[in-house]
Chains A and B, each alone.
Chain A
């Protein structure tokens, strides 16, 4: 007779073992993250102080060189004087741009026939380029409100390599370049402390393994807290109370706690058993999922990350933390409600660049296109499914041709057909006695041109899908219905439509998603005319990225598009699932 589950000693032992494992895993994660943060902050602080000192030396030299006139013997003297006050291994150079001259140098290699002043040697191009960059920064700062710091500091090989411009008479004539050794920061601090904070609670828990579940559980939590808090206090003391210490350490602690709970409450065990139980299914689906994860999700997560920054072409190399602006991009996209504005003549006019107007337009565009594509495709499939209809293969081939031809040329042909003076659509209008229209001058007619083009391009696909779906309906269903006296329309609504659903619904959902993001057609046929009225969300995002070079903003725009489609997808799935009754 086995004891009830909550009292079974073997089960108890398993649970307590899980608590132990959870404690260990949680501590590893929390302490690992905390230690990584500690190391980063310590070395950053150290590096910051060293950098300040080095930059001080640099600007001091630049000032003295400028005072000495920027070129000539005075500069060489100033450089020697400065060098005297610098640590061993420091090298200073003064470069003059015109003539690519090395005006002065304290590099021991620049002696004898390589002594300054001389022309820079062939392999010293980076030195010259650096001086050019300094001049470029100064010129750029003249045009901008936000000035960049007029120096360059790089830490490599344990040395600070720096440059600053030298001015004479208001113009940049050269630069000073300094290479200054930097003592390496202390090696990994706090490792013994971290290991202690990890080992001690785990060891202390050992005797508690015989205890009951509740006691063991509480003990595990307490020991975890003790280990994390202990190391946290130590780390904070080490970095001298840096501001974000509490935040970073608590974040690490919370993550570790999460891992602890996951393992302790059996999550890991359940995960492993589910994996084993369904290994066939996972094996079947894994290749497809991995491909998608790497090639689709991963780039997009990076895009979402960028959307929280103000990244533009001017600051692509800046670390993301520096240009972080949180939800600012989203706020400026979603918070812009100026759909209408006052035009010159006092009337209300639509602001075509506004997000909400573009959203409305994109929704209208999607709904009309999918409606046309689906209905035309379905009707054609039904007609082509008629038993005994002659020449069906020929019709089918001719009707998929719009899909077969590259849409770059067909889209442009359609655009040409709507040309005001020489387009065949207007010729046809004249043939029937109507006046030619300037199709791209009004938003509505411009929209019609894109609608016609995309409708023409998209119905073959829906036709093929419908054709295939119609094949899955057994013919005897119709026989039985006819015997029962059902009319053709009743057969259609009660047999055909429901049977088509499993195949059509995914095609429709995907068609909605593809049409929503249909960049090509809008770009090629209307190009947004007139004046941006026929832009859809994706073309706007493209413009922000490649015309305005505002990558963060464009990424936020794309993420908003994605969220809209996601909401639609989830909603649509719920609805169809409800009616399917699965």
Chain B
């Protein structure tokens, strides 16, 4: 191994400064959400200024900190409606979407990557093309298909089907690209050793594609997690509502209660953060081990 020398050339303190700046810009609007949530009030926090504001007044106005700190909004979110139940529904639906979406995408992407068959190119294109249809006008046709023809209204399966179909195209493309970078020699070696196609897939291909699986899992989860209008339209029973539907109760129509909505949004974001924390290690597992080309 040759001498290390200077690794990347950029000193770390420079990178840290850049990252801290980016984090501040990224997190700033979210701090306002936190402010509203912990303020105990319901307004969207437009701070007033005296007539001739001094620099200090301006600085204070730009800093996201509530006048009065209270956790009332959080307790109210859980107390006045079955929000915990709705969260569980969301978790169930999103988890099922992730599993179904990733599974179907993996098998399809594997076929697109490894096999040559008529319709391969057009199949890939059609996944791409399906994303180009403007979805905002599709509510009624989807309702007719899912609720009327398939009878899946007020059931979690109906939503899982629609969400998976929305998430699969990106997952297929992402996974196929990843599978393409995995050299076939590894699979051929496994075949020589007598492994069947399923075993090859599970033990050779999948471990090397962990970052792609992590990305597609996160993406599928997010597709399902924050979706509002389909969940609100398909579900006819209050106990089947999902978290985004429950959230919207706070801000529709004439009365807007941003405090509750902000508190609910924070609660709704926590599972996503946990999921990302869990998936992080797969995201950066790296292929350095055992993937030497040639």
Contacts and interface: CB of A to CB of B under 8 A. Distances in A.
Interface of A: 274, 277-278, 280-282, 284-285, 287-289, 291-292, 294-300, 302-303, 376, 380, 383-391, 393, 395-410, 412-414, 416-417, 419, 422-424, 427-428, 430-431, 456, 460-461, 464-465, 467-469, 471-476, 479, 482-483, 488, 499, 502-503, 505-507, 509-510, 513-514, 517, 519, 538, 541-542, 545, 554-555, 558, 561-562, 565-566, 569-570, 573
B174 to A, nearest CB: 6
B237 to A, nearest CB: 23
B77 interface: no
Given A280-B197, A284-B111, A401-B273, 10 more contacts: A277-B117, A288-B172, A295-B165, A383-B18, A405-B265, A417-B32, A464-B218, A483-B2, A506-B177, A507-B174
Given A291-B164, A380-B22, A413-B32, A278 B273 contact: no
Contacts, number: 293
A391 B168 CA distance: 33
Nearest to A295: B165
Contact of A285 (B49, B123, B170, B268): B123
Contacts of B178: 472, 502-503
23 contacts: A285-B108, A289-B108, A289-B123, A296-B133, A298-B141, A300-B133, A383-B19, A386-B15, A404-B273, A409-B258, A413-B44, A417-B32, A424-B61, A431-B58, A456-B25, A468-B211, A471-B286, A472-B181, A503-B178, A503-B212, A542-B136, A569-B128, A569-B129
Contact of B137 (A296, A476, A545): A545
A292 B215 contact: no
B115 interface: yes
Interface stretch (B81-89, B185-193, B277-285): B277-285
B245 to A, nearest CB: 12
A439 B115 CA distance: 54
B147 interface: no
A348 B269 CA distance: 48
Nearest to B15: A383
A484 to B, nearest CB: 11
A383 B18 CA distance: 9
A376 B25 CA distance: 12
A430 B284 CA distance: 43
Contacts of A291: 104, 161, 164-165, 168
Nearest to A403: B222
B108 A284 contact: yes
B173 A510 contact: yes
B57 to A, nearest CB: 9
A77 B110 CA distance: 82
Contact of A468 (B25, B265, B283): B283
Q: Which secondary structure dominates where chain B touches chain A?
A: helix
A469 B173 CA distance: 13
B62 A431 contact: yes
Nearest to A520: B136
Given A405-B269, A474-B288, A288 B104 contact: yes
Given A296-B165, A405-B33, A424-B62, A274 B130 contact: no
A405 B130 contact: no
B70 interface: no
Contacts of A424: 61-62
Contacts of A389: 12, 15-16
Contacts of B23: 395, 398-399
Among A380, A409, A471, A561, residue most surrounded by chain B Cβ atoms (within 10 Å): A409
A484 B258 CA distance: 59
Nearest to A277: B117
